[in-house]
Amino acid sequence: MSIVKVNLTDIKQQMNATFDLFICSSSFEGRCLSIANNINVDKIKRALILSNIEPLDYVKDNQAKLVSLFGEKGQIIKTSILNPLLTADNFQKSITTAINNGLSRSIFLDITTFTHESLLIILRLLRIHCEKIKITGGYANASEYSSGDDVKHKWLSRGIGDVRSILGYPGKIIPSRKTHLVIIVGYEHERAAGIIETIDPNSIALGFGQSSSATTEKDKDANEHFMMLVEQMATSFSNVNRFVIPCDNPRGTHDELVAQVRKVEDKNVIIAPMNNKLSTIGAAWTAFENDNIQLCYAQALSYNYKSYSSPGTQCYLFDL
């Protein structure tokens, strides 16, 4: 997988091709507009704008901006944080309808502001229905998360609801085997702790992002701070394996995860991708290649709607 980092203002020069479909997520984050505001809308034939129905009061302003940007080309697809089946059903209907209408040569997928669960569901469905379609991915970075807060007080979400396997990634869990949990740690240490407590694995591996590969422009040391907090919560495990992933390279994340899985081939393996969306693609890729692996997700009870992130100035473009 090739990946190139460009300024958002240079996207038009980098992407001069026409795309049959542009797929993005409307979000409470201003970053959901970063790529859409910088592409050539004239070269997009159809835009599928996925929008979560639960936090609609926080999402509706950016949703309206995306609808205005794409005009008649835009279509709102209702998704749900609480009901992944609704997300899967509605997206599958929209993508198959688009393909049946001849929009099947090229897709641009803006992964920036999907939830990890929604992104993984979409990647699975695109793999099923769009195997021969050229798909270009884009990820707009953040200048800062939990904007304005110091490292020790940053937060993205609070509380956890269900901890569940992600639709399309059930794995092959054998009850007689021990369970090994792999967490790719992000800022949400409370959710990571909830996953550990709920799954109650026999062994654990914690991956954190290299500061040198961080896609955020500020507080690059935050990854290590939150890794330390998760490690403290995992002190009951006699041997916690610690490894490093590149935050800006899905292939690198994939390779590190494959190495981790090889160490525990006699166990059930569950992976919780909780860092950025580029590393989440690496987790999906790992599960695509090994259907024994289960991917899991912890639903948050509340989000930092007001200052979740500040838009950055750069974009990562890659071929899916």
pLDDT score recorded for residue 219? 57
Domain spans, the chain? 3-144+309-319, 151-303
* Mean pLDDT of the 65-75 span: 96
Alpha-carbon 252 to chain mean position: 16
Q: Record the tokens describing residue 241, joined without a space.
A: 């394996």
pLDDT score recorded for residue 55? 79
Computed from CA positions of residues 270, 183, 306, 309, in that sequence, does the dihedral angle turn out positive or negative?
A: negative
Which run of H or of E encompasses 258?
A: helix 250-262
Please tell me if the domain spanning 3-144+309-319 has the same topology as the one spanning 151-303: yes
Encode pLDDT of 280-316 as tens digits.
999 999 999 999 999 999 999 888 888 889 999 999 9
Entry pTM: 0.94
Q: How far is CA 159 from CA 152, 197, 265, 304, in A?
A: 18, 13, 33, 12
Q: How far is CA 308 from CA 8, 106, 134, in A?
A: 20, 32, 32
Locus of tokens 């495990």: 237
Determine whether domain 3-144+309-319 maps to CATH 3.40.50.10640: yes
pLDDT score recorded for residue 284? 98
pLDDT score recorded for residue 311? 93
Rounded to whole angstroms, how far apart are CA atoms 256 and 149?
A: 31
Between 274 and 104, name the one with better pLDDT: 274
What pLDDT band is residue 145 in, cutting at 50, 70 and 90?
confident
pLDDT score recorded for residue 223? 61
Question: DSSP labels for 17-55?
Answer: S-EEEEEEEE-SSGGGGTTTTTS-GGGEEEEEEEEESTT
First to last CA, the chain: 7
Mean pLDDT for all residues in the chain: 91
Query: Are residues 95 and 130 in contact, defined by beta-carbon separation less than 8 angstroms?
Result: yes
pLDDT score recorded for residue 235? 67
pLDDT score recorded for residue 108? 97
pLDDT score recorded for residue 215? 72
Calculate helix-pair angle for 277-289, 250-262, nearest 10 degrees: 50
pLDDT score recorded for residue 57? 86
Between 133 and 190, name the one with better pLDDT: 133
pLDDT score recorded for residue 224? 63
pLDDT at 170 over 80: yes
Share of the chain above pLDDT 70, in %: 92
> The domain at 151-303 falls in which architecture?
3-Layer(aba) Sandwich (3.40)
Encode pLDDT of 210-252 as tens digits.
766 667 756 556 666 666 766 666 666 767 888 999 989 999 9
What pLDDT band is residue 188 in, cutting at 50, 70 and 90?
confident
pLDDT score recorded for residue 20? 97
pLDDT score recorded for residue 158? 86
Q: Record the tokens describing residue 60, joined without a space.
A: 């509706």
